Structure 1
Amino acid sequence: MIRPDTSERGVPGLPSAWVLARVSGPSMTPTVRHGDRLLVRRSRPGTARPGDVVLARFPSRPDLLVVKRVQRVLDDGGVWVVGDNPLVTDDSRAYGPAVAVGRVVLRLRPRPGRVGPPPDPGGLS
């Protein structure tokens, strides 16, 4: 299960709209991996688009903060999110609609030289 390690505080030196998160678990492999750090720009509900990699919460599990890919936007402004790893189902298939609280804009791998935007998974949504 991916749980960004963040207290939702801002990143020092950046406006408060930015959050740094650490990935825990395999549900978004190969797009992001366990141990990756992600730079997330906070967003208002209703601004996520299909294909975006987002930081989200499930109303049915408000204690769980996840990184998932938006599969579709719902009429009420919520999102249906899924992981890129089809073997792990800790996403909307298990918990229902989610609320996107931020969009992932940059991945910082724990190894030197691995910085960049999340790759397009080539249809693995």
Structure 2
Amino acid sequence: MRLGLAEVRNPSMLPTLRPGDRLLLGYGAAVRPGDVIVLRHPFQHDLLIVKRAVGRRGAGWWVVGDNPEVVNDSREFGPVPDGLVVARALLRLRPPHRVVRPGRRGRPRQGSPVAVLAALPSAVRPLRARSRRLRAR
């Protein structure tokens, strides 16, 4: 399996992923229901999007965003053929300025090395299935 990095650019996967988060991707990794995947948009193949694979529907994956406010997913374009799935997201990597809580006026605090190390567990997080959420859809 080849590895790669991608950056999240829109809010369709909030609260799981925020714009600016980076993803460690596994190219060729098996996709299971609940996985976060990167795929080519069915109507615009040069556009890569990040969605959650809910399950198989016919010859493709039914994908949705975690943000119910954004509908740019299978509710709009239907199941996504396997050939459009690019990679599975393995880890979320949050930028360091996002990990340290903001100080006054929303600016990041100048964190001590201890504060930065304490914040690392929330900066690097595996992406797992959200089973309760999937059952609700």
TM-score (ref. length: structure 2): 0.69
- Of residues 95, 115, 118 in structure 1, which corresponds to 2:77? 95
- Where does the alignment leave 5 or more consecutive residues of structure 2 unmatched? 100-119
Count residues in correspondence: 107
Q: What SS does the corresponding residue of 2:132 show, helix, strand or coil?
A: coil
| Aligned partners of 2:91 and 2:124 also within 8 Å | yes
Contact 1:40 1:103 survives alignment (8 Å): yes
Residue 38 of structure 2 aligns to a residue in which SS? strand
Match of residue 48 from structure 2: 65
Bigger Cα Rg: 2
Q: How does 1:78-117 map to 2 (within 5 A)?
A: 78-98=60-80, 99-111=84-96, 113=120, 114-117=123-126
Contact 1:71 1:81 in 2 (8 A): yes
TM-score by length of 1: 0.75
Q: Distance in 2 between matches of 1:23 and 1:55?
A: 10
Distance (Å, rounded) in 2 between the aligned partners of 1:30 and 1:74: 25
Provide the rounded CA distance (Å) in 2 between the counterparts of 1:58 and 1:23. 15
Structure number with higher helix proportion: 2
Deviations 1:69-95 (CA, angstroms, capped at 9, x unpaired): 00111332x211000000001111122
Report deviation, 1:119: 5.3
Contact 1:36 1:107 in 2 (8 A): yes
SS at 1:85 equivalent: coil
* Matches of 2:48 and 2:132, distance apart in 1: 24
Counterpart of 1:3 in structure 2 is: none
Residue 31 of structure 2 corresponds to residue 48 of structure 1: yes
- Distance of 1:66 and 1:49 partners within structure 2: 17
